Structure 1
């Protein structure tokens, strides 16, 4: 049985039993996903989905909406944190316009998957129509389908969109039927007054839609275009049995929406870090998952994935390259 073979290989490396801690669990998980005792990481890739949110106009963020397109230009120029970390660790990066409220000039290194310019303001109407949501899912799926053709078997997803922690808080509240106040954090760095304003706005938003909803209806009503495309991308990555690196709060909410429909998706997910966003640790707990890192990050962009990637490499490398007691002629404990 593969699980037992992997565990035996891990246990008989030249170390005390369990001494590599969470790396041992990670190595076992990767081996199980790839159905081998000698797994490989091939052509790692990061996808950053960007979109604007109608609810941002209500004042839920410390930053104005135009920061979304400005940051996309920064990604394209290679100057953002995610660019730096991906260069450092040899991860290819793709930037996707899922619904930015801006007309980008032609000729940029940008994948155009824009469904519409910004989601709608959920205080007035659902964030997306059913048709827009389905198109967003398909767009995310198609991005991953193209990357699979490059021989990639490990992929991470990041996001950029002013207002998307608000959308994620609303989704978390509905997906798990918990009070919205338990799901709200400071996002891009709100002060106490701004945080209270965010709480008031999101409470109004959640109360506007009291009926129970399916996972897709929740994402369509409260989510964002980049979140919807990430959900489609996660499903497609799982379909191709890829390892899925999960970033922070927003990415984890996207995984949660997919997981509610297909619990098996978690088998392929590696949760890379615990965000400093208030509800992320709680959300991981609800999904019974632990993250690799806790660096108080709250940047998004997929930065947690890029930073965790060397640890994922280390888990694979020790499994493949570290000597066993027998190989090294070292006495094991009795």
Structure 2
């Protein structure tokens, strides 16, 4: 599989549009800076869209689902079978992200990039299975190089679908039992951080389960001590998952296309970290929706030097936090575009 698309340049921000948006903010009928980060959000969106008055009308959600060989080592409070069961729940509209997407009229799809099950083709499901789950990083690499590239390609294709549909924002979600373990490993390796403080309870491990998870992940890191942290593709293939690779591919492709991204929780942010290391500067086309209670999330923000929009003590994943933050983007645009200027309102500036 070719990786040539990965080398394509990212779309640069439109600084002229950003400056025009700043000037507009200065003329709106409010004290300067009184809308706080909503003002900066509107200006950031103006730079991403290349217009003084950005629009956030419709969002696209792709939830990537895959299983992890590492889950067999007991790093999650739930059995691996839950991944496939949750795919059915997404498609039936019962999962949190499905509810939020329906409520906000978002385009919604579930992408099977590596679930250890077979699904009947149906509306809303994209079957793009690389394999029935990764291998265990405890005993070897999670993915072969070709599998990693294939999963990145699945994400690229999702971003292409969103772009061709003419949406204003891409939201990536994930489902995969064991994927907070994979995310913690990736973040620790790529940032050079100590692993133990980054390992959280994930789906709800108790103290004994958390201690076991930390022990298993420490063994994984020791197994791959020679892995070069400066090679993000090698790190992703060794420690990641198919859904994380697909997310990284989607974020990278969105940066190339100039399609704004709203990143969700710790797993999606780990994917964003990979994509940023593949294409430095890609992060400027992304917004980060919230800070999870997973401890690795803040380490990821520190490495990326970004700030999330919300902190609601969320730890669900699926893209749910990004869907919750989506109205903030719309409100920032509405305020920016529809408030009167001092001249229009006849108010003294």
Q: Contact 2:264–2:290 (CA<8 Å) still a contact in 1?
A: yes
Q: Contact 1:55–1:122 (CA<8 Å) still a contact in 2?
A: yes
Moved over 3 A (4+): 106-109
TM-score normalised by structure 1 residue count: 0.97
CA distance in 2 between partners of 1:85 and 1:18 (Å): 31
CA distance in 2 between partners of 1:61 and 1:135 (Å): 26
Aligned to 1:112: 127
Counting only pairs closer than 5 Å after superposition, residues 1-334 of structure 1 correspond to structure 2 as: 1-107=16-122, 109-211=124-226, 212-213=228-229, 214-332=231-349
Residue 109 of structure 1: how far off its partner (Å): 3.2
The one-character-per-residue Cα deviations of 1:15-38 (angstroms, maximum 9, x if unpaired) are 111011110110010001111101
Structure 1: gaps of 5 or more residues:
none
Q: Contact 1:2–1:35 (CA<8 Å) still a contact in 2?
A: yes
CA distance in 2 between partners of 1:16 and 1:290 (Å): 24
Residue 98 of structure 1: how far off its partner (Å): 0.7
CA distance in 2 between partners of 1:300 and 1:105 (Å): 25
Structure 2: gaps of 5 or more residues:
1-15
TM-score normalised by structure 2 residue count: 0.93
The one-character-per-residue Cα deviations of 1:270-321 (angstroms, maximum 9, x if unpaired) are 1001111122122212211111111111000000111011000011111111
Instruction: Please say which of residues 101-110 and 201-210 is displaced more in the overlay.
Output: 101-110
Q: Contact 1:186–1:278 (CA<8 Å) still a contact in 2?
A: no
Q: Contact 2:301–2:307 (CA<8 Å) still a contact in 1?
A: yes
Tell me the secondary structure at the aligned position of residue 300 of structure 1: coil
Tell me the secondary structure at the aligned position of residue 253 of structure 2: helix
- RMSD over aligned Cα atoms: 1.1
Aligned to 2:13: none
CA distance in 2 between partners of 1:21 and 1:53 (Å): 41
CA distance in 2 between partners of 1:107 and 1:34 (Å): 34
Instruction: Please say which of residues 255-264 and 164-173 is displaced more in the overlay.
Output: 255-264
CA distance in 2 between partners of 1:178 and 1:107 (Å): 42
Residue 82 of structure 1: how far off its partner (Å): 0.5
Aligned residues: 332
Residue 2 of structure 1: how far off its partner (Å): 3.3
CA distance in 1 between partners of 2:67 and 2:130 (Å): 11
Residue 118 of structure 1: how far off its partner (Å): 0.5
